[in-house]
Amino acid sequence: MRVVMLSKALVVGAYQQKLYEIAALGDIDLVAIVPPTWRDGARLQRLERRPAEGYRLLITPIAWNGRFHWHYYPRLPGLLRELRPDLLHIDEEPYNLATFHALRAARRAGARALFFSWQNIARAYPPPFRWMERYAYAHAEAAIAGTPSAAGVLREKGYAGPLTIIPQFGVDPQIFSPRPRPPNPVWTVGYAGRLVEEKGLRILLDALERLGDDWRLALAGSGPLREEIRRWFTARGILDRLDLREHLDSRLMPEFLNGLDVLVLPSLTRPNWKEQFGRVLVEAMACGVPVIGSDSGEIPAVIAEAGLIFPEGRAEALAERLDTLRRDETRSRGLAMAGRQRVLAHYTQARIAEQTVDLYRQILGVR
């Protein structure tokens, strides 16, 4: 069976391992269609192209790059006519123009189609997004929800078709794995992601200030809080305890994570957003790094018993959990091992590929 996957997320090189794992399952002729770049706010993510083993990677222009609801792929209809897939996997939310455009192109090419959703808040969209969402619900052969909460939102909003819960991407446990690290006299707390208010970084700084002097902070990311964080450290005369890096290429993330004693994701729920997954948690857990997360959105479900949770917005609670891991090396090692095992059981690219291909076979009636 021939499957085409349309995904702007695949510009990240580490995510392309999922394509290799799908193709390795034997009966899939897989073609991935990706844009050359994706603009996420002020940051332009260029395609990190990796060797395509067992599948094809096609690069096609993207219109309205960076506009989450409005972007689409002008050449997709022609590509589908040439490729003649049995199934089009649209790696996009149902209310986006890219999904609507791709579904119509798939119907004209005689292909079945499915869409993916992370949306874990039942938001009512204005026209034309509401119309496009209804079209997707009516014409998609199936849907994938990244989490149980996202599946619940799809049902609440009226999607009645086949629905499977599969995270969008996992990790390669050979790449994201524990590595020997030299003894570090300073206990290192880390965060990787967007440097924005809803990620709870001010809560993290407040918690660290409660810990005294025996720590340093490593941050990797970009966003409007970057200079505020630098000023916070400068005002306290402790700028030497801040390791502030730009957004990292996915190939550099394992090295960054392995330099941490703990990774924190202190996200804050907002009226129009709550944490949808927290992929960096899974990457850190795979590297054998203990994790602490707030109780925003899906974080508690991702971490489960393999890390520590604190009430979002509560700096004193976060400080208490950080201090626990700093003082209790046995507890820290135990959580590190539990996190790695949880990833191996649930969040590897191979496991997600198996679940995805099972869905493909169900849709196409293939044993």
Q: Looking at the domain assignment, is residue 115 inside a domain?
A: yes
Question: What does the pLDDT read at residue 51?
Answer: 82
> Are 329 and 231 part of one and the same domain?
yes
> Are 115 and 242 part of one and the same domain?
no
pLDDT at 185 over 80: no
> Are 15 and 161 part of one and the same domain?
yes
Question: What does the pLDDT read at residue 184?
Answer: 65
Question: What does the pLDDT read at residue 250?
Answer: 82
Instruction: Check if the beta carbon of residue 45 is closer than 8 Å to that of residue 19.
Output: no
Task: Name which of 89, 129, 5 is nearest 363 in CA terms.
Answer: 89
> Are 141 and 194 part of one and the same domain?
no
- pLDDT tens digit string along 82-109? 999 999 999 999 999 999 999 999 999 9
Q: Looking at the domain assignment, is residue 326 inside a domain?
A: yes
In total, how many domains does the chain have? 2
Question: Sorting pLDDT into bands at 50, 70 and 90, what band is 194?
Answer: very high
Question: What does the pLDDT read at residue 219?
Answer: 97
Instruction: Work out the mean pLDDT of the chain and round it to a whole number.
Output: 95
pLDDT at 332 over 70: yes
CATH number at residue 201: 3.40.50.2000
> Are 353 and 300 part of one and the same domain?
no
- pLDDT tens digit string along 243-291? 999 988 888 999 999 999 999 999 999 998 999 999 999 999 999 999 9
Question: What does the pLDDT read at residue 257?
Answer: 97
What would the two tokens of residue 120 be? 């874990």
Q: Looking at the domain assignment, is residue 178 inside a domain?
A: no
Question: What does the pLDDT read at residue 321?
Answer: 98
> Are 159 and 262 part of one and the same domain?
no
> Are 241 and 355 part of one and the same domain?
no
> Which residues are 142's β-sheet partners?
114
- pLDDT tens digit string along 47-73? 998 888 899 999 999 999 999 999 999
> Which residues are 293's β-sheet partners?
265, 309
What would the two tokens of residue 130 be? 């509401």
Q: Looking at the domain assignment, is residue 117 inside a domain?
A: yes
Expressed as residue numbers, the domain containing 224 is 188-346
> Are 253 and 194 part of one and the same domain?
yes
> Are 164 and 196 part of one and the same domain?
no
Q: Looking at the domain assignment, is residue 175 inside a domain?
A: no
> Are 153 and 266 part of one and the same domain?
no
pLDDT at 361 over 80: yes
Q: Looking at the domain assignment, is residue 39 inside a domain?
A: yes
> Are 243 and 158 part of one and the same domain?
no
- pLDDT tens digit string along 115-165? 999 999 999 999 999 999 999 999 999 999 999 999 999 999 999 999 999
Tell me how far the alpha carbon of residue 185 is from its chain's centroid: 32
Q: Looking at the domain assignment, is residue 181 inside a domain?
A: no
Q: Looking at the domain assignment, is residue 8 inside a domain?
A: yes
Question: What does the pLDDT read at residue 153?
Answer: 96
> Are 15 and 145 part of one and the same domain?
yes
pLDDT at 213 over 90: no
Long-range contacts of 303-307 (CB under 8 A, 24+ apart): 303/339, 304/342, 305/338, 306/335, 306/338, 306/339, 306/341, 306/342, 307/281, 307/335, 307/338, 307/339
Tokens 């200030």 belong to residue: 209
CA distance 188 to 232: 18
